[in-house]
């Protein structure tokens, strides 16, 4: 049975006019193109203000590996999307083994492209 990682999260399409699947694909595409989580990505020094942005829980992955080789196993990844600016911040949480039970890392802003727009 597939677990809906977005259960209880406000839908990104409610204010930005995009279907959740299309927004998730745009975010995942931007992460893939930038190799963020695949030996790339330097975390921000502090958490950004994401109060007015739409949150979207992304699909689980096996691992998220930062540029300094810190690896988070089975991370929870949440994108905070600003469609007007065509960018998002990424929050990554999970076990690293070295940094305690569940450290949190922030990345961004990461730009994305919208199909047909």
Tell me the β-bridge partners of 65.
38, 71
* Number of neighbouring beta carbons within 10 Å of residue 81: 24
Residue with tokens 């279907």: 19
pLDDT given at position 75 = 92
Within 8 A by CB and 6+ apart from 43, the residues are 66, 105, 106, 107
Residue 95: enclosing H or E segment and its boundaries? strand 87-95
Its pTM stands at 0.79
∠ CA 76-48-51, nearest 5°, is 85
Q: What ranges do the domains of the chain cover?
A: 13-111
Q: What is the pLDDT of residue 95?
A: 83
Ranges of residues in the chain with a pLDDT under 50 are 1-16
Quote the pLDDT of residue 40.
86
């Amino acid at each position: 049975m597939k677990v809906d990682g977005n259960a209880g999260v406000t839908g990104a399409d409610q204010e930005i006019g995009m279907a959740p699947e299309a927004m998730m694909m745009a975010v995942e595409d931007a992460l893939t193109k930038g190799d963020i989580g695949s030996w790339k990505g330097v975390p921000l020094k502090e958490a950004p203000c994401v109060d007015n942005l739409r949150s979207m829980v992304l699909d689980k992955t096996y691992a998220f590996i930062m540029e300094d080789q810190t690896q988070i196993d089975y991370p929870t990844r949440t994108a905070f999307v600003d469609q007007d600016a065509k960018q998002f911040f990424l929050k990554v949480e999970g076990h690293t083994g070295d940094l305690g039970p569940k450290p949190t890392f922030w990345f961004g802003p990461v730009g994305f492209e919208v199909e047909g727009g």
